[in-house]
Structure 1
Amino acid sequence: MEKSLKSYLNFFGLFIFGLSLSQVNCEALQDENCKKSCEISNKAEKFQWNEYAQSLFDEAIKLCPNNDYAYREKAVPFLKSGDFITWKKLIDKAVEINPNQNLGYRAWCRFQFLRDYQGAIIDLEKLKEYRPTDLGSSQNGDYHLEIVKAICYSAIHQKEKAIELFENQLSNKNHSTGFYDYYQLGVAYFELKNYDKALENFEKQSKIYDFAENIFYKAKVSKIRNKDYLDLKNLALKTYDEGKLMKDVYTHHFNKVYKKQMQDL
């Protein structure tokens, strides 16, 4: 077992990782070895943070080398411990075996944990070959993966491309709006100095879920336009202190704003 993983497990004790996908229906498998492998990996997934679970995943893979679920779940603790090299080897194997099931997950992890925006875009483009009508949602449910792709383009300074993707997805009648969709679009417009469109989307965001960062950007627009912005700035700080802000259990959101930035406005 890698030293980094051991250190992480010792620190977090019985912490259960939350990135696992739903367990596999083993009864649907015809091959007896793969069915047994599936049962073992389902068992190991429940407590994947310890060395015994890792040995179970190894046993499952040995029984059925095409058990992509075992590879993916075995990889999760390495992702959380920061051992991205080991994680990448394991998740790449899962993707190789079953790209339809694993490309979106790898893309999200590349985006969320590694800030590998180009890699995430490549994965999502490949996923489109398997899911042409709907890529599905991010692992934590915050975003549709089309929105993730748009954010990735925004992150690599292709704002116009990002806005096109945002607008296309948000106009899709089947799209379920996420917590931060209009905010992310608004920031992309803001960075292109299109303050009218930026404010329009910040206002749309406020109607769905208002939070400190969104209010802060409305204050920035007001300041740029030489309008009174202090009330909005103070409201952003108050909202921040109340805990209504961009949150993630493991990492920091793209376009996250911190209290010091709000105070300095």
Structure 2
Amino acid sequence: MIKWIKRIILGLLSSVLIVILLFVIIKPKPYYVINYLIGSQMQWFGYDKEGNEMIEKSIKKLKNFSASQYHSASVQNTKNGNYNKAIEYLDKASEMEPKEVDGYYGWLLLYYYRDYEKALFHLNRYDAFSPNFVDYPQGDNILFTKALCHKGLGQYNKALDLFDKAILSELEKHDESWISHQIYYQKARTLHLLGEHKKAIEYYDKTIKLWDKSAESFYYKGLAQIEINDSLVGRKNLNIALDLVTKGYKTSDSYVALFDEVYKMEIEKTINDL
């Protein structure tokens, strides 16, 4: 009986020693896979430096590190503000699997980094994979996202052309109520920037028709009206915008500042300066 107990203990000790030998000294492929997963979790809990070090170590040892793994590693780095590292990983992922990564990468470069030229490169390449189909990277009509890039570059006429194409693509299968109010709003802003005030007001109104709590549309509509000397109505719309924002009605995102987003202090200052 004692002999059997000794054998069991020796067997367990041998197993432990083998595990230690494998995972601490030899470190086979499964070790680095586990190391990568633990590093990812550490990032999620806020230990950025330690997590990235573990991920980097795994990348160097795992020769077949996939595009999806690079993509995954980039996401938490973006959320944690480690933008250089996030871009490094996404560059590698998009080089390996552009069809799978470019839509997300282009959208990210547009909204998070405001890198309009690089965003256009990836969005155009992604769009080229399905030329007869309107893609929706991260839920946005790709024609709309490309239009935002051109708007950001000051290429307003090209942006207007793409906003119109985005609207037409939406109307092919749905009525106007299905169109994101942001498409009309951004077309209005582009017209406004071109000095086409009356046309811009028309599209601010279309935006408000789709969402009557669009504080930003009331705000910029009011400014456009004041700029064409319709001050009384313009002031009224600025006050509507202030009331809506005060009540919490405005287009916003938890992670990024949206394009032409408005804020209470901004509206108050505009009203006080009139």
Kindly provide the CA deviation profile for residues 147-169 of structure 1, in whole angstroms up to 9, marking residues without a partner as x: 11101111111101100010011
Give the stretch that moved more between structures: 47-56 or 158-167: 47-56
CA distance, structure 2, for counterparts of residue 133 and residue 256 of structure 1: 33
TM-score, scaled to structure 1: 0.75
- Is 2:81 the counterpart of 1:82? yes
Q: Does 2:112 match 1:116? A: no
Which of structures 1 and 2 has the larger relative contact order (alpha carbons within 8 angstroms, sep 6+)?
Answer: 1
Equivalent positions of 1:5-16 (< 5 A) are none
- Match of residue 243 from structure 1: 248
The alpha-carbon distance between structure 1 residues 117 and 235, as it changes in their structure 2 partners (threshold 3 A), is same
List alignment gaps of at least 5 residues for structure 2. Answer: 1-28
Moved more, 62-71 or 238-247: 62-71
Aligned to 2:150: 153
**Aligned 1:61-72 pairs, distance under 5 A:** 65=64, 67-72=66-71
Q: CA RMSD in A?
A: 3.0
CA distance in 2 between partners of 1:46 and 1:131 (Å)? 35
Q: Name the count of aligned residue pairs.
A: 229
CA–CA distance in 2 between the matches of 1:247 and 1:107?
20
Bigger drift between 223-232 and 107-116 goes to 223-232
What residue in structure 2 maps to residue 185 of structure 1? 187
Structure 2: distance between partners of 1:158 and 1:171: 20
What aligned pairs does 1:35-50 form with structure 2 within 5 A after superposition? 49-50=44-45
> What does 1:196-235 correspond to in 2, within 5 Å?
196-209=198-211, 210-227=213-230, 228=232, 229-235=234-240
The structure in which a higher percent of residues are helix is: 2
Cα deviation, residue 243, structure 1: 1.1
Unaligned stretches of 5+ in structure 1? 1-32
* Larger Cα-atom Rg: 2
User: Structure 1 residue 134: deviation in Å?
Assistant: 3.4
| Cα distance, 1:83 vs structure 2 | 2.0
SS for the counterpart of 2:259 is coil
